[in-house]
Structures are given as C-alpha cells and as structure tokens.
A and B are shown apart, each in its own frame.
Chain A
C-alpha cells in the first residue's frame, strides 16, 4: 500500500470530499450539476472554487433539487457532455426516478454518493443504507476505502462508464464523515497524464439537431425486454473492464486496487472477513494483529458492488472454512445485511458450502472499531471449528 511520489504528482493533505473534487477536476467534466446535501457539500464548494480559480472549465448549473440535478445531467449526457453530480441519503432517494432513467438510457453520468444514514431516527449520520438501496438502479457502484482511492476511483469510473462497450452510469460511494471528513495525504496526478489515460468523451449517440434521433421512445409491451437484456449484459462486461482499467491505472499511476475485489492475506487463509468501505482500513490492522497471533485469517474488500463480483468472490472464498461479512446497512426483510445476501448468492457459484456469519455495525453514525473486528474474527474462528453461532451479530447490541 506504500505509495511512492511520482515526479509528475503533487502531494496534498485533503479530506475525502476535496479528494473527490480534485478527481472530478482532473477528469474535466463539461457539465456539473450538484444540489448541496450533508455530508457531500464540500465537493460542490471545491468545484465552484476550482472554477473561480480557472482550474475547471465546466458549465455549472444550480438545480432546485436532486431530481433536477440528475435530470439536467440526463440531457447534458445525451448531448455528449461529460457530466458530474454528487449526493447522499435523502437526496439520492429523491433522485431515484432520474437515476434509473439515466441508466436505462445508457448515459455515462458519473456520480459520487457520500453514504449517509436515512431517517428515522433523524440525523445526518454515517451509514451505507442509501447506496445499498440504490443497488438495483442499473448503475455501476464502486465502494472505496481511502481518500486516495476516492480520487483514483473517480478517474477509473469515468473511463469505465464511457467505454463504448459499456455506456453505463457509475457511482463512486464512500462513507460519510469516516472518509468525507477524514484528512489524509493524497497524491494528485498531473492533468496531462490523466488526459492521456482518460481521452475526451466520444458519444456514439448524440442529441444533435443535424442528425435527429428518437430517444427513449414509447415501446409496446415486450419491446423493452431486449434493452434490459443488453443492459444486464453490459453490466457483466463491466466486471472484466474494471480489471483491465485497474491494471492500466496501476501501470500509469503506480496504484492498483485489485479490480472488482481486493484480496488481502487470503491465499493461505482458512477464514476470511469480507468488508466494504472505510472499515476495511480498520480491518487490515486487526487482520495483521491476528496473523501475528497465528490466526490464519484473510480479508476481502468488495470494491465493485454493482455489478456484483460473484465469480471472483466464489473463486477466492471456495474451500475456506468460514466467512464473516460486515454490513453497514440492513436488507430489511432478509434479517441480514445486503452484502451478506449477495455474497451468499455468489457462493452458490463455488459449488461448496461455507458457513457465513453476518456482522451488522456502523449504523446511524456508530463506529466500527478494532475491538468489534477482533471479536468478529474470534467468532468466525469459532464457527470454523464447528461451534454454533447466530447467523447475524449486531456489533453494538452484543
């Protein structure tokens, strides 16, 4: 993980939101349309600052709501613009209709979701419920661990979304406060290198008065099935595409993130903890400590949540004795977290049966601590040894 300063990079201390804004600036969007909402607002403030300083040459549109911001980008993207927006929690929920429309019209909009708990109880606290509930919108979703990964993933998200064989909007998601307000050292690549890595957008379908197009026409019943099939197939292609983009990114910038998932000390592991988002950093430290104590435990970070990396997870987890999954959300009605539900479905592909323990933590602004993860690893070990355990453990209610 120790990164070296590339001579063409600058080193700055940034919080997650400002790292996101730098990432967006480097990708040179043509249209930016963001409605402010905690904990995302610094992205908007920073982008306006960049524009005032002449660093960002984008059309900045002030919408009256999140629904309007995504609707605006739908038009802009259909006209061939590279676009950006950011939101969180209630704002994302207000945006749903336009989000699904953008995805099914196959417009490569890029959005940042700064994950925030939804009400009730009232509050502007951290939690991943907002992004998890948006998993079926037909978007690509990437969840990241550090401020550096936020910046890097935004660049990768544009490249992935705009690939001519993909054309699917992408959301880069990170934990509110735990990353959005965490200050870390961040390497900022030079804009020349980014421009080479991410060429300007060439849309094949444009809103152009010279070449009239019918966009999103009425179709008779059954007529849309073909487009659902093509959309789903493109999402499947996006898995391999991210692996390729990640490798190319590593070659150019010196930092790679493993593609769809990152496997940490997994090769010889007997038990594996699966995480997503900012708690992965905490988990790394605990895994190292447990390894020092002789526990053969590994860690998998799910980086691409949609499309879900079923094949890679099934491959990496086949033959393990027990798996633990940390969820910062609830899949209501399934009595477990969403990542747990999806991971269990993915394990069907491995044709093995491995017990899975789900840990629910970090809801409504709660922290996921080293102590939580330490006890989680103990419990996974216990299950691997054949002892019985509840399938779902609530960190804060133990």
Chain B
C-alpha cells in the first residue's frame, strides 16, 4: 500500500512548509534563449506564481513550480521565451 503521510487525518507538522510541486500540473514549459534575454524583469513581475529566478546573465522559470501558463512568454519584449509542449510537440498553430 502506497502511503505518504504518517497521520490518520489531513494533519501536518506546522513547523515545516507543506510544499506541493505544482510543476507536475504543467503541459507546456517556458524555454529561455539565454543570449536573447535582455534581463528587463517583465516576466519576473508578471509571473502569477512568482517562480521566475535570476540566473547569471538571464532569467528563467523554476520548473518545480512553473504551471506553464505562458504569461512570461507573452510579456517578453524580445521574444526570448518560447513555450514548448512537455510531450515534445510544437505549440505553433
């Protein structure tokens, strides 16, 4: 029997964060072209789950939490972010 909780009921230790990897919900992911990224921070400001992280010379989503909504791609002024289907198929129409 597969079990994940030591509790009989939905109770959890309040001293620890109860974290759910919402990245599992995603059907598409943002991919950043590092050399195109102008580090304007638009995606960082608009990301509804706040999962955009600053890397050395570009910004990118933390894929453990990114739900793949595509807002970052649509607000990027230099088209550095492209949404790619998790199953590898194209998002182009």
What is A's interface to B at a CB cutoff of 8 Å?
104-106, 167, 205, 211-220, 223-224, 226-227, 229-231, 234
For residue B1, give the distance in angstroms from its CB to the closest CB of chain A: 8
Establish whether residues B8 and A167, one from each chain, have CB atoms under 8 Å apart when the complex forms. yes
Establish whether residues A217 and B9, one from each chain, have CB atoms under 8 Å apart when the complex forms. no
Any chain A CB within 8 A of the CB of B7? yes
Establish whether residues A106 and B12, one from each chain, have CB atoms under 8 Å apart when the complex forms. no
With A and B bound together, what is the CA distance between A61 and B52 in angstroms?
49
Establish whether residues A215 and B10, one from each chain, have CB atoms under 8 Å apart when the complex forms. yes
A211 contact set on B, CB distance < 8 A: 14
Any chain A CB within 8 A of the CB of B5? yes
Best-buried of B1, B7, B10, B20 by chain A (most CB within 10 Å): B10
What is B's interface to A at a CB cutoff of 8 Å?
1, 3-5, 7-15, 18, 20, 22, 24
Establish whether residues B10 and A205, one from each chain, have CB atoms under 8 Å apart when the complex forms. no
A227 contact set on B, CB distance < 8 A: 5, 8-10
When A and B form their complex, which 5 residue pairs have the shortest distance between CB atoms, in order from nearest? A212-B14, A106-B9, A214-B12, A213-B14, A205-B11
Establish whether residues B15 and A230, one from each chain, have CB atoms under 8 Å apart when the complex forms. no
For residue B23, give the distance in angstroms from its CB to the closest CB of chain A: 11
B15 contact set on A, CB distance < 8 A: 212
Q: How many interface contacts (CB-CB < 8 Å) are there between A and B?
A: 52
Establish whether residues A205 and B14, one from each chain, have CB atoms under 8 Å apart when the complex forms. no
Residue of A105, A218, A220, A223 near B9 (CB, 8 A) is A105
With A and B bound together, what is the CA distance between A220 and B1 in angstroms?
19
| Interface residues of chain B: helix, strand, loop or mixed (majority) | loop
With A and B bound together, what is the CA distance between A219 and B3 in angstroms?
14
Establish whether residues A224 and B14, one from each chain, have CB atoms under 8 Å apart when the complex forms. no
A216 contact set on B, CB distance < 8 A: 10-11
Establish whether residues B18 and A217, one from each chain, have CB atoms under 8 Å apart when the complex forms. yes
With A and B bound together, what is the CA distance between A224 and B13 in angstroms?
17
A214 contact set on B, CB distance < 8 A: 11-14, 18
B5 contact set on A, CB distance < 8 A: 226-227
B7 contact set on A, CB distance < 8 A: 205
Nearest B residue to A208 via CB reads B14
For residue B25, give the distance in angstroms from its CB to the closest CB of chain A: 8
Establish whether residues A105 and B14, one from each chain, have CB atoms under 8 Å apart when the complex forms. no
A220-B20, A226-B3 are known contacts. Are A234 and B8 too (CB-CB below 8 A)? Answer: yes
Nearest A residue to B21 via CB reads A220
For residue B54, give the distance in angstroms from its CB to the closest CB of chain A: 28
With A and B bound together, what is the CA distance between A224 and B14 in angstroms?
18
B8 contact set on A, CB distance < 8 A: 106, 167, 227, 230, 234
Establish whether residues A230 and B14, one from each chain, have CB atoms under 8 Å apart when the complex forms. no
Known A213-B11, A227-B5, A230-B8; further 18 A-B contacts with Cβ < 8 A: A105-B9, A167-B8, A167-B9, A205-B9, A211-B14, A212-B13, A213-B14, A214-B14, A215-B11, A216-B11, A217-B10, A217-B18, A218-B20, A219-B20, A220-B20, A226-B3, A227-B8, A230-B9
Establish whether residues B12 and A213, one from each chain, have CB atoms under 8 Å apart when the complex forms. yes
